[in-house]
Chain A
Amino acid sequence: MSDINLTDSTTVLATLTEVIEEIAGPRSVAITREAAFDADLGLDSLTMVEIIVVAEERFDIKIPDSAFAEMTTVGEAVDFITESVKAAKASA
């Protein structure tokens, strides 16, 4: 894991953006907090699974299927990841 501050949601958004583009390639629309994975970014369910698997590795957290199922926008994913990273650091 890198030493960047992953408890900061702006940094989480930047890192998640990298992961999305690494898996799915550059997107034609900006990857903002408001962007919906499916409707705006055109990411199908299998691509989302790939993104979640790489995100779990990159952020060193687990994203349960139940949480994943409720994430429809980039912002929702960023918030979940930010909270998970904070919780993991607090318990470390």
Chain B
Amino acid sequence: MNGAKILSIAAERPAKTMSNDELPGKFDIDDAWIQSRTGIATRGVANDEETLIEMSAGAASKAIAAAGIDPATIDLTIVATSSNPITTPGIAPPLTNRLSLTSGAFDIMAACAGFCYSLNVAADSIRVGSARNVLVVGAERITDRMDWNDRNTCYLFGDGAGAAIVAATDVEDDGIGPVVWGSDGALADYIAQPIDSPYLQMDGQAVFKWAITEVAGIAREACEKAGIEPKDLAAFVPHQANLRIVESVARSLGVGESTVVADDVRYSGNTSAASIPLAIARMKDEGRIQSGDSTLLIGFGSGMTWASQVIRCP
């Protein structure tokens, strides 16, 4: 049995950042209204060249370089996404080709929980010996699915990709805690893209209520399984859906005064499966978290699906 740990996390953000004032829809809502309800000031909007594969490749190349591994030693590639423009193939096989790899490659579709699901699948693949080095990517072009004239969603989402290298290590050095994951398919219509619609639709108030009621309990269970008190966490990186949810969950969970809480949603909007690696990359770039920090992750979203684990920050 091996251990698994994260060697690196890197981000690829779209070149264009759109402010609230630049949103194309015409509404009676302004920058102050959006920021007070969501914390979102800007979001990245991918252009035609910034495809899911290209953004994923950008993030992956940086993660591979930061990990200092030979790309040829990557034997599994997992891409978490819910915005692949085609039904088949997935993003992972063309991504591996783009990176000149021939590793195992598949996508995971668990919406905004996708990165945490993928991280656990990667870690378990390493633990049982099916893989040595795994490339995990969370990548989204949610703005492709956005109705810029939908007053409920047009200001929420953004695009981007984040990537991590997960590698085999000694069992004693394992840096990815036990996962707590689950789903409640009875709530499948909370966030969904109906078959007859080109757009993502969301019951924002229902999702908000679900999140502030349920997420802290799931996160607390992940801490218990990892043997750490929430107040002792160095960092807390919940899915960046809405700053109000982030702050409410952090308060309910009881993180410590010194726990750094991710806030990338302010700059990136909700980037679904990409939000957690993008948030970690920003915190690392800003020097707010350090290598080795105990960091609680929790992804949650459409399905409803959720997954949470405590990691050691790369």
Partners in one complex: yes
* Residues of chain A at the chain B interface (Cβ within 8 Å): 44-46, 49-50, 52-53
Which of chain B's residues 229-248 have a Cβ closer than 8 Å to chain A? 244, 248
A34 → chain B, closest Cβ, in Å? 25
Q: How many angstroms from the CA of A45 to the CA of B38 in the assembled complex? A: 12
**For the side of the interface on B, what is the size category?**
under 10
Which residue on chain A has the smallest CB distance to residue B209?
A: A49
Pairwise interchain contact A44-B37, C-beta atoms closer than 8 A: yes
Q: How many angstroms from the CA of A52 to the CA of B248 in the assembled complex? A: 13
Pairwise interchain contact B37-A49, C-beta atoms closer than 8 A: no
Q: For A50, what are the chain B residues with a Cβ–Cβ distance below 8 Å?
A: 212, 244, 248
Q: For B244, what are the chain A residues with a Cβ–Cβ distance below 8 Å?
A: 46, 50
Which residue on chain B has the smallest CB distance to residue A56?
A: B213
**Central interface residue in A45, A46, A52, A53, by most chain B CB within 10 Å:** A46
Would you mind naming 18 contact pairs between A and B with Cβ atoms under 8 Å apart?
A44-B36, A44-B37, A45-B205, A46-B37, A46-B205, A46-B208, A46-B244, A49-B205, A49-B208, A49-B209, A49-B212, A50-B212, A50-B244, A50-B248, A52-B209, A53-B209, A53-B212, A53-B213
Which residue on chain B has the smallest CB distance to residue A45?
A: B205
B289 → chain A, closest Cβ, in Å? 27
* Residues of chain B at the chain A interface (Cβ within 8 Å): 36-37, 205, 208-209, 212-213, 244, 248
Which residue on chain B has the smallest CB distance to residue A23?
A: B248
Would you list the 3 A-B pairs with minimal beta carbon distance, nearest first? A49-B209, A53-B213, A49-B208
B251 → chain A, closest Cβ, in Å? 9
**Central interface residue in A44, A45, A52, A53, by most chain B CB within 10 Å:** A53
Which residue on chain A has the smallest CB distance to residue B204?
A: A46
Q: How many angstroms from the CA of A49 to the CA of B212 in the assembled complex? A: 9
Q: How many angstroms from the CA of A22 to the CA of B37 in the assembled complex? A: 18
Q: How many angstroms from the CA of A60 to the CA of B64 in the assembled complex? A: 51
Q: For A52, what are the chain B residues with a Cβ–Cβ distance below 8 Å?
A: 209
| Given A46-B37, A49-B209, A50-B244, 12 additional A-B pairs, CB 8 A | A44-B36, A44-B37, A45-B205, A46-B205, A46-B208, A46-B244, A49-B205, A49-B212, A50-B248, A52-B209, A53-B209, A53-B213
Q: For A53, what are the chain B residues with a Cβ–Cβ distance below 8 Å?
A: 209, 212-213
Q: For B213, what are the chain A residues with a Cβ–Cβ distance below 8 Å?
A: 53
Q: How many angstroms from the CA of A44 to the CA of B213 in the assembled complex? A: 18
Which residue on chain A has the smallest CB distance to residue B247?
A: A50
Q: How many angstroms from the CA of A50 to the CA of B244 in the assembled complex? A: 10
Q: How many angstroms from the CA of A44 to the CA of B34 in the assembled complex? A: 12
B219 → chain A, closest Cβ, in Å? 16
Q: How many angstroms from the CA of A50 to the CA of B215 in the assembled complex? A: 13
A15 → chain B, closest Cβ, in Å? 18
Q: How many angstroms from the CA of A52 to the CA of B210 in the assembled complex? A: 12
Q: How many angstroms from the CA of A87 to the CA of B30 in the assembled complex? A: 44
Q: How many angstroms from the CA of A50 to the CA of B205 in the assembled complex? A: 10
Q: How many angstroms from the CA of A52 to the CA of B209 in the assembled complex? A: 9
Which residue on chain A has the smallest CB distance to residue B248?
A: A50
Q: For A44, what are the chain B residues with a Cβ–Cβ distance below 8 Å?
A: 36-37
Which residue on chain B has the smallest CB distance to residue A44?
A: B37
Q: How many angstroms from the CA of A90 to the CA of B108 in the assembled complex? A: 49
Q: For B248, what are the chain A residues with a Cβ–Cβ distance below 8 Å?
A: 50
